[in-house]
Structure 1
Amino acid sequence: MDLAQQKEQFSVAYIKAIAAQAGLNNAHPSVDDDSIDLELIGKDFKGILRNPKIELQLKCTSRDLLNGNVIKFPLSLKNYNDLRGDNVLCPRYLAVLVIPENVQDWVEYKDEELILRNSCYWVSIRNHPKTYNKTKVTVDIPLKQRLTKETLVELMTLASKGEYL
């Protein structure tokens, strides 16, 4: 497996681990033609939708993209256009996992714990403007928007109410 495939698999495993802790189910579209890598589904939420869903485009990078309090992530134009706009059934988010450069540092094994490194951040680009770029769009992802169990529950609660960020 090449490095890009390893990063893809690691980002899916990372999000699935957080989703499991949050009590969310997941589905993996068999064809990624709409920039959705993973769907997360809630159950028994109290909003207008009892089983809300959010969709995620996952990216994984070991490059230094930090600039102040944001990650400046170069997103392909296709992904950008697929994730923006409000004409979709459920909320869509970009999730970027920042990992160490060395593959051996991604996971640490101890007798009573397994540590996954480093952190994942999320952003909604739903309301971002149309762009005239030809290949990529740099998206700012605030470091304060760390993807955690609590964040996933919050995003799912909003989705159950028919709300988006």
Structure 2
Amino acid sequence: MAVDVLKTPMVVPEAVRVARESSMAAVTPLWDRVATSTDDRGGRSRMPSSSDPAPSEEAWVAGANLHLNARKARYGVAYLRAIASQAGWSLQETSPDEDTEAVDATLGFVEGSVLVQVKCGTRELRNGHVRVPVTDEWVRKWSNKLLPAYLVYVRVPSDPRSWCTPGDRFTSHAALGYWAPVNNVALGPSVEVSTRLTAETLPQWRSDFLGRFQGGSAA
């Protein structure tokens, strides 16, 4: 007897069905998945707002391969690089596998370079400054440097969704940078940073370099 294949329902094995649903979930846009989930009362969830608690790393960006601390490290260096680009000087990042001297980047001027260690985190300012955790090993290495060395702290919100906000005319970065010279800091668990990092900071660092090697400041 002939069978009409167009009218015969196709039976999908359970394993295939589960794999298909998992695959679809992986490609469904994140915000669609958040918006269509159910809340504690069994109703439809609203879209997240800036006042919501920070999501877990897995819940925010599907497939992200940088944990939160790694994201902060990359963002901190990127912030410093943006400031250097704005001021018109080059920045050479230390290879992660060669970061043995407590120096994340070298900022290059025509006459020479200065050294920068970058930390990124969510610490709040207290009395106009932030205390950044350091190690005695870092402090000893900084004290041995002939070049000027600086510690830069980039403060970001706890929720990574707030770090960059694309707009119609420009992208806003919810970050602030602070710095301190560290060639002569005392041994201790932290270093106080309070001076804002801007493009105008870098000519001051150049003057520090010239003062060390030329006995004067930049013209």
**TM-score bucket of the superposed structures, by smaller chain:** 0.7 to 0.9
Tell me which residue corresponds to 1:55: 115
Cα pair distance change 1:128/1:161, threshold 3 Å: closer
Instruction: Kindly indicate whether residue 94 of structure 2 is the aligned counterpart of residue 34 of structure 1.
Output: no
Tell me which residue corresponds to 1:48: none
Tell me which residue corresponds to 2:87: 22
**Matched residue SS, 1:67:** coil
Instruction: Kindly indicate whether residue 140 of structure 2 is the aligned counterpart of residue 73 of structure 1.
Output: no
Separation in 2, partners of 1:10, 1:36:
16
RMSD between superposed Cα atoms in Å: 1.8
Alignment of 1:1-165 (within 5 A): 1-30=66-95, 31-43=98-110, 51-64=111-124, 66-83=125-142, 85=143, 87-129=144-186, 131=187, 137-142=189-194, 145-162=195-212
Greater relative CO (CA pairs within 8 A, separation 6+): 1
Deviation at 1:162, TM superposition (A): 2.4
TM-score if structure 1 supplies the norm length?
0.81
CA distances 1:101-123 after superposition (whole Å, capped 9, x unpaired)? 10010011112212222211000
**Matched residue SS, 1:100:** coil
Q: Give the count of matched residue pairs.
A: 147
CA distances 1:67-124 after superposition (whole Å, capped 9, x unpaired)? 21211222122222222x2x42311000000110100100111122122222110001
Which amino acid counterpart does residue 138 of structure 1 have in structure 2? S
CA distances 1:132-162 after superposition (whole Å, capped 9, x unpaired)? x6xxx121112xx111100112111331332
CA distances 1:13-66 after superposition (whole Å, capped 9, x unpaired)? 1000000011101111221000110111012xxxxxxx22111000001133x2
Higher helix share: 2
Separation in 1, partners of 2:131, 2:91:
28
**Matched residue SS, 1:128:** coil
Work out whether residues 148 and 209 of structure 2, in 8 Å CA contact, stay in contact via their aligned partners in 1.
yes
Higher strand share: 1
Which amino acid counterpart does residue 15 of structure 1 have in structure 2? L
Separation in 1, partners of 2:151, 2:114:
11
**Higher alpha-carbon Rg:** 2
Moved >4 Å (runs of 4+):
none
